Chains A and B, each alone.
Chain A
């Protein structure tokens, strides 16, 4: 089977660790190059050695490597635009960490560059690649709970350690680089689930987002009320609300209320619990990154549409930015799409 040769640009985002391991061990993929731009350059170098991938100090050199067919970009968000456009210009297919960019104009530029170059552009929103959510979507679309009326969702992570597994994540606390704090970090996953499950678009968003818990310079928790065009009402809480002792690290939950039934998606990521000095959830299935990498590779190798394209990534960002605007102005905001 033909394999897709991947390069990873930057280990600024900690997801790079998981993507590297999945890409390197993938049926359709090979990890051939890593660049050490942005933070955590040393980790990138160590990882390159570990996977036998070529190491480049800068992404420009990686993009000139003809062996590289596709890139996974995990650089700080404020550099997404610059790097993604260059990757497109060099003819590399792009798997771009979320959010797509800092603003909608930049998102448009990234989308246009990919289109012009004729390369695939995909955003990795994890939950829709998990079994529980796929099952829920099937049941909703199959009419098993009647018309969807109400969704309450949690898309949360623990208080971010500034260093994790040797990674420096301090840029998450700098809104100029990340676009925002806990809500910007975790809400895109929840928003994607809502857009995907409802198959609709929100017309109005009201949100309260703030630095409420830790005293960080960025927001740590937020809740958004989304009124969809088809009449579905959704409430999403997202952020870093879980204290250190919390048994979950990442936590994705959905209560889906239909007119004739109710789906309780307790978790997108099945786990079991270990009790010692503290309780700890161990995830026994994290098929999401595998699903993302495989569907992206398949789309590239067979020249098919990717499951989550740039427009979907932009729409996602539009909802997130509307939530921030609503929270700033303390008013509901009509989503401009």
Chain B
């Protein structure tokens, strides 16, 4: 039976990633798209011959199995809780919520309603990292030190919601949860403490009094060290892409490294700059979103166990939240 899917939030992540992924999945039907911007809602709905809504209540009245929440971070909790209470499973973009407290409420609501709550930690569905993790297991690398960087030059203007800490949580949360989850996933250990330092580099960050460059040193059980670097302020040349991953894993039985030069983009060399052609997003290959959504739908059908749970997402956020506290106080914070 087809799952009936609704989408809330038809902005960037919908247009760049989820729309195409949803289109490729045969076993579901997108029946409704909701956005507070009517034009966006209509445009989204058009792609699926679905209904367009600007009112959440009317949207939630519809018969749907699962709702994808693809809105700015600060709205996640309220929307997810309402949707769960309306009896629909929820897939929400990462971070799970703006704060750990909100995230906990979401998880409690899902438990109470007996519904699934999934968080789109898409790194767990990216073939690069899946394969890397497999190699680590197969070859018994035993990682003790992992440095993961995710850096970019955030192209949005300074009044965009990303630059508002109360809306996005800042780079420490927005990109941070990707990396903190990655470290936990790869170490298969729990974090003990974090020391973090933040910087405001770009004009947009200074104007908003927000960090756009953030470093976390995370101590994991068993003497493992995780180094998470996230940045919106890298003045990178765009030759290889606009988003960069670095991974350096040092284990008892070997080392694995991935640099921006290993990213298989198709670069374009012309007198004027053009975006690389391989991937529209470049932080993630498009098939990762499709794999993620297929997996979540399959979990909803009861056919698979979740590869990443809302609880994992909550811990990823908790580390980032503790890290922000550490950066504020200039001290190590226990997790």
Chain B binds chain A: yes
Taking beta carbons and an 8 Å cutoff, which residues of A are in contact with B? 145-146, 149-150, 152, 154, 204, 206, 208, 210, 212-214, 221, 223, 225, 227, 231, 233, 235, 237, 241-243, 245-246, 257-262, 330-332
- Of chain A, the residue at the smallest CB distance from B196 is A225
Other A-B pairs, 4, CB within 8 Å; known A152-B229, A233-B197: A204-B330, A221-B145, A246-B255, A259-B201
Interface pair B215/A262, CB less than 8 Å apart: no
Q: Is the CB of B254 within 8 A of A149?
A: no
Chain A residues closer than 8 Å to B136, beta-carbon distance: none
CA of A241 to CA of B255, assembled, Å? 8
Task: Produce 1/0 per residue, B168-197, CB < 8 A to A.
Answer: 000000000000000000000000010101
Smallest beta-carbon distance B200→chain A, Å: 10
Residues on the B chain within 8 Å of A213, using CB: 144, 250-252
What are 13 of the A-B contact pairs (CB < 8 Å)? A149-B213, A204-B330, A212-B145, A223-B147, A225-B215, A231-B199, A235-B215, A237-B147, A257-B231, A258-B235, A262-B235, A330-B219, A332-B332
A223, A257, A262: residue with the most chain B Cβ atoms closer than 10 Å: A257
Given A152-B229, A237-B147, A332-B330, CB of A210 within 8 Å of CB of B223: yes
Name the residue on B nearest A152 (C-beta): B229
Shortest Cβ distance from residue B163 to the other chain A in the assembled complex, whole angstroms: 17
Interface bits B196-221 vs A (CB < 8 Å: 1, else 0): 01010110000000000101010100
Contacts of A225 in B (CB 8 A): 195, 197, 215, 217
Does residue B233 face the partner (Cβ distance < 8 Å to A)? Answer: yes
Asked if B331 is at the interface of the complex by the 8 Å CB criterion, the answer is yes
Chain B interfacial residues counted at CB < 8 A: 35
Give A2 to B224 CA distance when docked, in angstroms: 55
A-contact bits for B235-274, CB 8 A (1 contact / 0 none):
1110000000000101111110000000000000000000
Residue B33 lies at the interface, judged by CB distance under 8 Å to chain A? no
Contact assessment for B251 and A257 in the assembled complex, using a CB-CB cutoff below 8 Å:
no
Interface residues of B in 138-169 (CB under 8 A from A): 144-145, 147, 149
In the assembled complex, the Cα of A245 lies from the Cα of B233 at a distance in Å of 35
A232 to chain B, nearest CB (A): 9
How distant is the Cα of A79 from the Cα of B131 in the complex, in angstroms? 49
Given known contacts A235-B227, A246-B255, A331 and B217 CB-to-CB distance under 8 angstroms = no
A245 vs B141: C-alpha distance when bound (angstroms): 13
How many A-B residue pairs have C-beta atoms within 8 angstroms? Tell me. Answer: 93
In the assembled complex, the Cα of A237 lies from the Cα of B235 at a distance in Å of 22
How far does the Cβ of A330 sit from chain B's closest Cβ, in whole Å?
Answer: 6
Residue of B225, B234, B248, B330 with highest tally of chain A CB at under 10 A = B225
How far in angstroms is the closest Cβ of chain A from B106? 33
Instruction: State the CA gap A227–B198 with chains docked (Å).
Output: 10
Task: Tell me which residues across on chain A come within 8 A of B224, comparing CB atoms.
Answer: 212
Tell me the nearest residue of chain A to B141, going by C-beta. Answer: A243
- Asked if A262 contacts B250 (CB within 8 A), the reply is no
Q: Give CA–CA (A221, B197) in the complex, Å.
A: 21
Given contacts A235-B215, A243-B254, contact A149 B225 (CB under 8 A): no
Q: Which 5 residue pairs of A and B lie closest in terms of their CB atoms, listed nearest first? A: A212-B144, A241-B250, A208-B225, A206-B195, A262-B235
**B145 partner residues in chain A, CB cutoff 8 A:** 212, 221, 223, 237, 241
Q: Are B330 and A242 in contact (CB under 8 A)?
A: no
Q: Is the CB of A242 within 8 A of B235?
A: no
User: Which residues of the partner chain B approach A262 to less than 8 Å between Cβ atoms?
Assistant: 234-237
- Assess the B332–A330 pair: CB atoms within 8 A: yes
Instruction: Name the one of B202, B217, B236, B254 contacting A206, with C-beta atoms under 8 angstroms.
Output: B217
Chain B residue contacts of A261, Cβ below 8 A: 235
Closest Cβ of chain A to B263, distance in Å, is 14
Question: With A213-B250, A221-B144 known to touch, is A235 a contact of B199 (CB < 8 Å)?
Answer: no
With A213-B144, A225-B217, A235-B229 known as contacts, the answer to whether A257 contacts B234 (CB < 8 A) is: yes
**Distance A78 CA – B255 CA, assembled complex (angstroms):** 32
| Distance A214 CA – B252 CA, assembled complex (angstroms) | 6
Q: Which of B284-335 contact A (CB under 8 A)?
A: 330-332
Measured CA separation A212–B224 after assembly (Å): 8
Least CB separation from B145: chain A residue: A221
- Residues in A neighbouring B332, C-beta threshold 8 A: 206, 330-332
Complex CA–CA separation, A244 to B236 (angstroms): 33
Tell me the complex Cα distance, A330–B237, Å: 37
Chain A residues, CB < 8 A from B225: 208, 210, 212, 223
CA distance A210 to B235 in the complex (A): 33
In the complex, A231 Cα to B197 Cα: how many Å?
11
Instruction: Determine the distance from Cα of A332 to Cα of B195 in the docked complex, in whole angstroms.
Output: 8
Measured between beta carbons, the chain B residues less than 8 angstroms from A208 are 217, 219, 225
- Chain B residues with Cβ below 8 Å from A150 are 199, 201, 213, 231
Are B219 and A223 touching (Cβ within 8 A)? no
Chain A residue at minimal CB-CB distance from B251: A213
What residue in chain B is nearest A154 (Cβ atoms)?
B248
Task: Give the residues in chain B near A204, CB-CB below 8 Å.
Answer: 330
Contact A149 B144 (CB under 8 A): no
- How far does the Cβ of B169 sit from chain A's closest Cβ, in whole Å? 20
